[in-house]
């Protein structure tokens, strides 16, 4: 080999060694490391210069995605509330029975569903009864014998449930515990008699099947014929009003009591809807804060009973 060739190889070898000694940058963009003479010493070397790391900016798409997700959640909630409001105003509304005034057909703790379209719509069909309009839209008169929910005339914030007994123009009276409509006694048949104990002691409880003019039948219960509301004057039902009574005749504040302290005559505008079905029922004692009572106080035999 000639001297010139050896010189060329020597220069090439020196260049290769020099290149091998050049600082090496990692794939992550860290500062260069000096390999030195021993490439295996790379892991023990310190950076020649302190790295300047750039803060990674959050992708714009992530911010937009989070904002879009929030908007979608809000839209879903708003649509759900609107649907619930429409159903409540136009179709159905649930109610809980708070007292015994409609026994033996409705008991305290029954959870019922009321149809809103049955009698049309008034301002009382809307939550909080806003004064948006007067009268009723798509008005349909209740039928005698319907179980109706209505706003208490002296306090429209309070919901009441009673049976429609007197129609506009009727004359209604109680005589010795017997119901008269337009001076004609309503047909009734004693179904059962029993003794019961309550806060008032031992009393006789009579269950009676009444039949309205027109053939509508339903059950009532009575504790005797000498109670305060068993004998009343004649009530004349004015136009645009209805006479309401509870099925528990001796334990019901209804149209037999004047509007100052009771119900009085109920304006048609105050009608909310017709009670259709018992959805489910709890006996008294069930507590929201005691989940065990939700099951121990259930009354499955009353579930899905259609109301007459």
Would you please indicate which residues are annotated as catalytic (active-site) residues? 101, 162
C-beta neighbour count of 286 within 10 angstroms: 18
Distance CA 64, CA 43 (A): 42
- CB neighbours of 56 closer than 8 A, spacing ≥ 6? none
Distance CA 226, CA 96 (A): 31
**C-alpha torsion sign, points 276, 277, 282, 287:** negative
């Amino acid at each position: 080999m000639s001297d010139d060739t050896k010189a060329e190889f020597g220069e090439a070898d020196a260049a290769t060694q020099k290149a091998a000694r050049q600082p090496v940058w990692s794939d992550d963009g860290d500062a260069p490391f000096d390999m030195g003479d021993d490439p295996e010493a790379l892991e023990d070397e310190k950076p020649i210069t302190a790295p300047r790391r750039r803060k990674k900016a959050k992708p714009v798409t992530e911010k937009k995605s989070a904002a879009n997700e929030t908007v979608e959640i809000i839209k879903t909630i708003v649509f759900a509330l609107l649907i619930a409001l429409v159903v409540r105003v136009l179709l159905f509304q649930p109610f809980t029975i708070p007292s015994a005034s409609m026994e033996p057909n409705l008991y305290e703790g029954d959870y019922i569903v009321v149809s809103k379209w049955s009698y049309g719509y008034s301002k009382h069909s809307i939550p909080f009864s806003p004064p948006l309009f007067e009268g009723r839209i798509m008005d349909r008169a209740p039928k005698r014998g319907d179980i109706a929910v209505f706003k208490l005339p002296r306090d429209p914030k309070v919901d009441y449930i009673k049976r429609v007994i007197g129609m506009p123009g009727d004359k209604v009276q109680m005589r010795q515990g017997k119901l008269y409509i337009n001076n004609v006694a309503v047909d009734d048949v004693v179904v059962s008699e029993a003794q019961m104990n309550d806060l008032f002691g031992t009393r006789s409880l009579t269950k009676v099947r009444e039949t309205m003019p027109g053939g509508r039948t339903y059950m009532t219960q009575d504790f005797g014929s000498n109670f305060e509301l068993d004998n009343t004057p004649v009530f004349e039902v004015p136009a645009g009003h209805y006479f309401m009574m509870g099925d528990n005749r001796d334990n019901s504040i209804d149209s037999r009591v004047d509007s100052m302290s009771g119900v009085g005559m109920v304006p048609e505008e105050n009608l909310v809807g017709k009670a259709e079905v018992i959805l489910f029922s709890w006996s008294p004692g069930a507590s929201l804060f005691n989940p065990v009572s939700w099951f121990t106080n259930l009354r499955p035999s009353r579930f899905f009973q259609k109301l007459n």
